[in-house]
């Protein structure tokens, strides 16, 4: 197998309806966690895992994402002229550290359809998919944990997390056989099962390590839940072929696609900053009295 993590795909073509009206003009992937856009944190995770090429699948009006990863001559020049060397270096590092290619998804036809748009850019190699709604804070990057399992077993890998029974309808849900190493040999995968019909409470969270033939499978997949081409339905084919493992990642996941999860992520990341921690804790004590 090639090194499974040279290229990663970040689907960012969603409409961000949960964050309207802000997302009327700002892509949800650009909403900040403290001072970094969520997509910046996701790209960091991929880079720390050894990825060298990031393919962002954009919808309409997502030039803000392209601009973020591009050089900004005016800004860099102004920062230098004002003697703000440290900020200049921070800004410059973003465009220097990664090659980001941006592709258009012409219609919002689902996550599977968005991943399929990366087919030519990926070619014939294993790749990672990172969904921007799921922030993963861990020492070994979440996607690297999957890459390690895929490299060792030759199988595709998805991240799993146990969720309360009343939340399974919001996720892809997996069931299968627990292996001695703790991973799950997935036999069944269902996208957003109706309440009370989930095969387990093990939800897929947004990290995937996939083989190139997933594109052939995606080409064949019929519209599923919500009338969309679902990545989950293509993964279910891999599961039927005995080629899909579920991995419970070590680390903390935040659902930044949900308003409460987004606020919690901001607080969790801010509390890790020595310059913000005490002030934030004092404020939270005050408002919670």
| Least distance in angstroms from the C-beta of 19 to ligand G1P | 13
Residue 149 engages ligand G1P in binding (rule: CB under 6 A): no
Q: Measured over all CA atoms, what is the biggest interatomic distance in the chain, rounded to whole angstroms? A: 61
- State the number of CA atoms in the 13 A half-sphere of 105 facing the CB: 27
- By CB under 6 A, the count of residues binding ligand G1P is 14
Which sign does the torsion angle of CA 87, 92, 93, 95 carry? positive
Residue 133 engages ligand G1P in binding (rule: CB under 6 A): yes
Residue 211 engages ligand G1P in binding (rule: CB under 6 A): no
| Least distance in angstroms from the C-beta of 256 to ligand G1P | 10
Name the segment binding ligand G1P (CB under 6 A); options: 51-59, 85-93, 176-184, 198-206.
198-206
From candidates 55, 114, 183, 191, binder to ligand G1P by CB under 6 A: 191
| DSSP assignment of 123-158 | -SS-EEEE-TTEEEE-SS-HHHHHHHHHHHHSSEEE
Contact assessment for residue 2 and residue 49, using Cβ atoms and an 8 Å cutoff: no
Residue 205 engages ligand G1P in binding (rule: CB under 6 A): yes
Contact assessment for residue 54 and residue 43, using Cβ atoms and an 8 Å cutoff: yes
First-to-last C-alpha distance (Å) of the chain: 56
Residue 105 engages ligand G1P in binding (rule: CB under 6 A): no
Residue 136 engages ligand G1P in binding (rule: CB under 6 A): no
Residue 29 engages ligand G1P in binding (rule: CB under 6 A): no
List of residues contacting ligand G1P (CB under 6 A): 111, 131, 133-134, 171-172, 191, 203-206, 230, 232, 257
């Amino acid at each position: 197998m090639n090194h499974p993590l040279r290229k990663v795909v970040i689907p960012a073509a969603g409409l961000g309806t949960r964050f309207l009206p802000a997302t009327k003009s700002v892509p949800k992937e650009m909403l900040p966690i403290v001072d970094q856009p969520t997509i910046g944190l996701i790209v960091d995770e991929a880079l720390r895992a050894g990825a060298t090429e990031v393919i962002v699948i954009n919808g309409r009006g997502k030039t803000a994402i392209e601009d973020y990863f591009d050089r900004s001559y005016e800004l860099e020049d102004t920062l230098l002229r004002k003697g703000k060397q440290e900020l200049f270096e921070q800004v410059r590092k973003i465009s220097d550290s990664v090659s980001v290619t941006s592709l258009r998804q012409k219609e919002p036809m689902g996550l599977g359809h968005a991943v399929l748009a990366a087919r030519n850019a990926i070619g014939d190699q294993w790749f990672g998919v990172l969904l921007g709604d799921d922030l993963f804070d861990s020492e070994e990057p979440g996607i690297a944990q999957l890459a390690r399992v895929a490299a060792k077993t030759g199988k595709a890998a998805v991240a799993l997390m146990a969720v309360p029974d009343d939340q399974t309808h919001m996720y892809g849900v997996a069931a299968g056989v627990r292996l001695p190493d703790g991973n799950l040999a997935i036999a069944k995968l269902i996208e957003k099962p109706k309440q009370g019909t989930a095969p387990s409470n093990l939800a897929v969270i947004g990290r995937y390590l996939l083989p190139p033939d997933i594109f052939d499978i995606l080409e064949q997949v019929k519209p599923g839940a919500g009338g969309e081409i679902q990545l989950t339905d293509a993964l279910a084919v891999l599961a039927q072929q005995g080629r899909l493992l579920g991995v419970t990642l070590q680390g903390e996941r935040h659902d930044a696609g949900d308003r409460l999860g987004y606020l919690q992520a901001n607080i969790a990341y801010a509390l890790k900053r020595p310059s913000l921690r005490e002030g934030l804790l004092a404020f939270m004590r005050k408002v919670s009295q």
